[in-house]
A and B are shown apart, each in its own frame.
Chain A
């Protein structure tokens, strides 16, 4: 699990207790509030702010605070950076959420099969997973985009496909652990089908750490999309936080605001999601609180 950099431990608390624990965690609640705010802004912000992000709003390269320009300044075409930040979140969050879901989905399927059946299924699937773990994931994403070409869906695919190894290993570990539990054995004894045991009996109990992993995956997906966009590998006609930075990277030294604010938006969003994940971790596992 070290790939995430932040360990995800197995879980001892469940359900309502965890929710109460979560609410008691100030940092996590702050994360939740900020994240909710970010989501609301990306949904309603463009309508409220009323400036179209892709249109020229004022002269080019006006700095933040310049009387002639908008609050956060303008880019090389005179587009409003604030409008870009508000609007760009949609694409970034969409790509991150879908890519995260894609990776979780793939990981769940592979990991649960490997963990539940064990034996040669496990060996085969894990060898397959290792192939994807051996390739540095950003490098692999780059190659996929290189092959597929830019476009929001293709970008999402290129990110989702490189990140599933992580949840796969986590799911497998949980399934390995849980399948030996008494209640699973009991289900098997009364003749439940494998599919039913996997989805109805084991999965709910494996959810907590997977939920934590999902939050972290979304953060990684946000960073990946930003990285790809920064390298100029994403669609130039779509506004995202990453693409604003990517398009303006040649001007970062002269017009720092064109890169600084979209980056701040990413840090803020990523941090809020990570705080939520951290809070979930603590809530599910009070013994490790504060680690």
Chain B
């Protein structure tokens, strides 16, 4: 009996030891990376736009009469305190990227760290004007076809190698060959590098979107001496310098990279702007959902968090310790709409699309489902863009008209359709899709909601032929200029198997003409007129039915100072951000 007892004791001791052992290891074990959850993480690998970013509902910052706005004013009235060096900012994000180089791939999960690790030629301020960054000055020729950038002298990469015009040229070539936003560098003809600090761009046509393409997150300057190692230029997506150990040009170095758990960036001592950055460390923590972000912000565990959800918006505005981060003023600007598959025989009938448009109550989505925290989207361009036109066909709710349109289209007994949605923020995608399915039931359209586990599964519908889908909740991002974010979704030439291309299979020569003319029009007023007309036509013809846009990106603790307020907001360098505590 005694030996049995001893053996038994051994077992217990073993178990206890095991648990202690594993506990001890676990605590220091930062390698066991967590994986972000389904609805938040969508992989950023999707080649076009960032769906992961698929939009999120940001709590609204505020119309001026809200308490929170007063809060902001109040803080501004205080004498501006002197910036302090040091400190760690912990930023919660639900977005996971496949790498940290926004030059080869797109996505919020990539853009956030990329904009800190890699410097760009310019910053874009909140008036959409370029400001010096790696380029200290530039000249534009009278015909707008030649742009000459002068780089800051003495700038270095994180390995100490100098940043030269050859690196800038190389970076533009990598972006052209790899980045999904093909319109960004479309009219570029050639790049000259007369000396180490001068870059000359030659354009075929004037290209107003160039100032987006050279700014912040869109133009990561990459080290040629590391990346030009024999890897074919169009396969740079797989280059190791996009991940752990990446050598960059920006204010922060990548020191720890666990793409599904956390990303740690540390101050680069020899950054080319003297005395910057202020912060010692930036930690991106990948959290499972917006609720976790909000709780962490409330408890003070996180200093900043992107993508708080609509139902958390009120919490942000009622919390005196938190400040809403405005959406990127259209810099990214998610356009949430219902997209129709015009290649499908049912959906190609304009009357069917119109019947659907007449049934959906945009107002209900915005004011009830989103509790008034989002804003309506009527034209095809982001409402915060100067080119937005809201004076277009609205398709206000009219169920009788919807029924008669369906009748005319040959569906007196209604019809069966499917609606897909991007697995992203539920409020913007799934919830609206479910609402649309219910609403369409009123006019006899029976709708099945099709869920996808993640972004690539959803994107698979675009490769499945004309009957693979009828309509889907989609979120094309505006990405600053319509040339980048909008044009791609409408022009005939972009009807191809792909994601965030012209997946509606919409083709109208007049629209093509307008878009191409607007892309090359340097005069803002004339450009706006062209885009206005484009939006009028597409609102009637309904390749998309616009639903809403999101005005807010996330929230900061009150002590986070100098949050970048340019067009790119949190997707810029952070070299001026400091902590007042």
Contact = CB atoms under 8 A, between A and B. Distances in A.
Direct contact of A and B (CB under 8 A): yes
Contact of A253 (B291, B431, B435): B291
Interface in B286-303: 289-291, 294-295
Interface stretch (A36-44, A55-63, A100-108, A275-283): A55-63
A78 interface: yes
B2 interface: no
B431 A77 contact: yes
A150 B434 CA distance: 17
B368 A76 contact: no
A254 B438 contact: no
Contacts of A232: 38-39, 451, 453
B448 interface: yes
Contact of B434 (A61, A77, A250, A253): A77
Given A76-B427, A77-B369, A251 B438 contact: no
A254 B369 CA distance: 15
A181 interface: no
Given A56-B438, A60-B368, A77-B434, A254 B451 contact: no
Given A61-B311, A76-B369, A250 B290 contact: yes
Contact of B368 (A78, A237, A252): A78
Interface string A72-97: 00001110000000000000000000
A253 B295 contact: yes
Contacts of B295: 253
A55 B438 contact: yes
Interface in A244-271: 247, 250-255
A142 to B, nearest CB: 12
B244 interface: no
A236 B369 contact: no
A31 to B, nearest CB: 35
A59 B39 CA distance: 24
A213 to B, nearest CB: 30
Nearest to B432: A77
B146 interface: no
Interface in A27-60: 54-56, 59-60
B434 to A, nearest CB: 6
Contacts of B371: 60
A55 B426 CA distance: 18
Given A59-B368, A236-B449, A237-B449, A76 B291 contact: no
A250 B39 contact: yes
Contacts of A77: 369, 431, 434-435, 438
A59 B430 CA distance: 17
Nearest to A150: B451
Interface in B215-244: none
Contact of A60 (B289, B369, B430): B369
Nearest to B453: A232
B291 A251 contact: yes
Given A59-B368, A237-B448, A254 B291 contact: yes
Interface in B429-449: 430-431, 434-435, 438, 448-449
A250 B448 CA distance: 22
B227 to A, nearest CB: 37
Given A59-B368, A60-B368, A60-B369, A250 B435 contact: no
Nearest to A146: B453
Nearest to B38: A232
Contacts of A60: 368-369, 371
Interface residues of A, number: 20
Contact of A236 (B289, B294, B427, B451): B451
Contacts of A78: 368
A247 B426 CA distance: 9
A59 B372 CA distance: 13
A254 B312 contact: yes
Interface in B268-323: 289-291, 294-295, 309, 311-312
Contacts of B438: 54-56, 77
Nearest to B315: A254
Contacts of B435: 56, 77
Given A54-B438, A251-B311, A76 B449 contact: no
Interface in B383-438: 426-427, 430-431, 434-435, 438
Given A55-B438, A59-B368, A250 B426 contact: yes
Contacts of B368: 59-60, 78
Interface string A170-208: 000000000000000000000000000000000000000
Interface string B7-42: 000000000000000000000000000000011000
Contacts of B369: 60, 76-77
Given A76-B426, A237-B449, A254 B311 contact: yes
A78 B449 CA distance: 18
A252 B309 CA distance: 13
B291 A252 contact: yes
A162 to B, nearest CB: 20
A254 B312 CA distance: 8
A246 to B, nearest CB: 10
A255 B309 CA distance: 13
Contacts of B309: 250
B191 to A, nearest CB: 47
Nearest to B435: A77
A60 B431 CA distance: 11
B95 to A, nearest CB: 15
Contacts of B39: 232, 250
A216 to B, nearest CB: 28
Nearest to B421: A236
B325 to A, nearest CB: 20
Nearest to A253: B291
A157 B294 CA distance: 39
A202 B516 CA distance: 83
A252 B371 CA distance: 18
Interface in A213-241: 232, 236-237
A124 B158 CA distance: 64
Contacts of B430: 236, 247
Contacts of A76: 311, 369, 426-427, 431
A38 to B, nearest CB: 27
Contacts of A255: 311
Contacts of B427: 76
Contacts of A56: 435, 438
A76 B427 CA distance: 8
B451 A250 contact: no
A60 B448 CA distance: 22
Nearest to B431: A76
Interface string A101-129: 00000000000000000000000000000
Interface in A152-170: none
A149 to B, nearest CB: 10
Contacts of B291: 250-254
A238 B115 CA distance: 43
A146 B107 CA distance: 26
Contacts of B311: 61, 76, 251, 254-255
7 contacts: A55-B438, A56-B435, A56-B438, A60-B369, A237-B448, A250-B39, A250-B291
Interface of B: 38-39, 289-291, 294-295, 309, 311-312, 368-369, 371, 426-427, 430-431, 434-435, 438, 448-449, 451, 453
7 smallest A-B Cβ distances: which pairs?
A253-B291, A236-B451, A250-B289, A76-B431, A236-B449, A254-B311, A250-B426
Given A55-B438, A150-B451, A232-B38, 10 more contacts: A54-B438, A60-B369, A60-B371, A61-B311, A76-B426, A236-B434, A236-B449, A251-B291, A253-B291, A255-B311
